[in-house]
């Protein structure tokens, strides 16, 4: 485990600070995204309110991924600094009781002061779920985009290959995003047939632009509909224009699955269907 070291402030006379990591998950449909807003209906706001009650201090939390409104997180990582050590087991129990039911607190641990949820991350893994066909499933519907017809799955898989690598993804970025640079690296992108009409896209990358994953999914669905050819992805990337790409997929199908803080050369999962195990074989860079 990483040592816990006080962070000495550059201004003489100020107290040392200690850094703590929070692991959590949440149902995104209950919130207006991760990042704090005046409305207060965000995950960050809910977490900071709970910390204020538990610690009697105003705490600012930094999250690894600023998920958009309606986007879920199966594993989100956040951190905060405070000028004293805390009783982690006690505060952990307090947070579990204080946050809304749609947030799950998975862990609270001290961590090295140079840890940063975003800057220390090597990669992020997202999953997008689509439910195909005329039927519905009450347990899946809140977490998947329902499309009442079949898609050309083979064409979508073919088009997906063009996203892997380092590209300018401005065509897939939200027009109201705040990013000044648009080059991002996608380490791998895989589609999995789960059976009974459920398909999933896993995308692993070093970082993502606002709505980038959802815009990629929307474009790939248009390929599956026959509105675009797989190779059109190349011209869309080259266009450097959001208007050239496809629709934005609904937020409810997207989940942040994992944040990786150490090199992870292989991530594999097996499914009980005709598809073989999928694996992410691109080695993550060592920072």
With tokens 């749609």, the residue in question is 102
Tokens of 157: 């898989």
Reply yes or no on whether 152 is catalytic: no
Catalytic residue among 68, 114, 176, 232: 68
What DSSP state is assigned to residue 242?
G
| DSSP output for 7-45 | B--SSTTPPPBEEEEEEEEE-GGGSS-SS--TT--SHHH
Q: Which of 202, 237, 26 is nearest to 123 (CA)?
A: 202
Q: Find the helix or strand (DSSP H, E) in which 264 lies.
A: none
Q: Which of 141, 145, 142 is nearest to 129 (CA)?
A: 145
Question: How far is residue 280's CA from residue 287's CA, in Å, rounded to a whole number?
Answer: 19
**How, if at all, do strands 103-111 and 165-168 pair?**
unpaired
Q: Which of 35, 132, 30, 115 is nearest to 80 (CA)?
A: 115
Question: How far is residue 58's CA from residue 249's CA, in Å, rounded to a whole number?
Answer: 36
Name the residues annotated as catalytic: 68
């Amino acid at each position: 485990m990483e040592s816990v070291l006080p962070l000495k402030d550059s201004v003489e006379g100020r107290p040392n600070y200690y850094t703590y990591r929070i692991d959590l998950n949440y149902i995104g449909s209950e919130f207006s995204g991760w990042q704090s807003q005046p409305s207060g209906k965000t995950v960050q706001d809910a977490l900071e309110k709970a910390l204020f009650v538990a610690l009697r201090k105003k705490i600012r939390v930094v999250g690894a991924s600023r998920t958009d409104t309606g986007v879920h997180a199966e594993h989100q990582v956040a951190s905060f600094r405070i000028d004293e050590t805390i009783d982690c087991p006690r505060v952990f129990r307090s947070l579990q009781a204080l946050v809304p039911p749609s947030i799950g607190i998975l862990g609270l641990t001290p961590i090295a002061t140079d840890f940063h949820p975003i800057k220390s991350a090597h990669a992020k893994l997202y999953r997008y779920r689509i439910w195909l066909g005329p039927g519905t499933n009450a347990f899946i519907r809140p977490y998947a985009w329902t499309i009442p017809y079949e898609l050309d799955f083979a064409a979508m898989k073919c088009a997906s290959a063009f996203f892997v690598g380092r590209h300018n993804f401005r065509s897939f970025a939200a027009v109201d995003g705040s990013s000044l640079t648009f080059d991002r690296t996608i380490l791998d992108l895989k589609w999995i047939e789960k059976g009974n009409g459920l398909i999933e896209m896993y995308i692993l990358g070093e970082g993502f632009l606002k709505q980038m994953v959802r815009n990629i999914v929307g474009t790939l669905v248009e390929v599956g509909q026959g509105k675009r050819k797989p190779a059109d992805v190349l011209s869309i990337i080259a266009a450097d224009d959001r208007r050239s790409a496809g629709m934005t997929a609904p937020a409810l199908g997207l989940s942040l699955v994992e944040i990786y803080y150490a090199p992870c050369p292989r991530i594999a999962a097996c499914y009980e269907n005709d598809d073989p195990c999928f694996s992410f074989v691109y080695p993550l860079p060592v920072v």
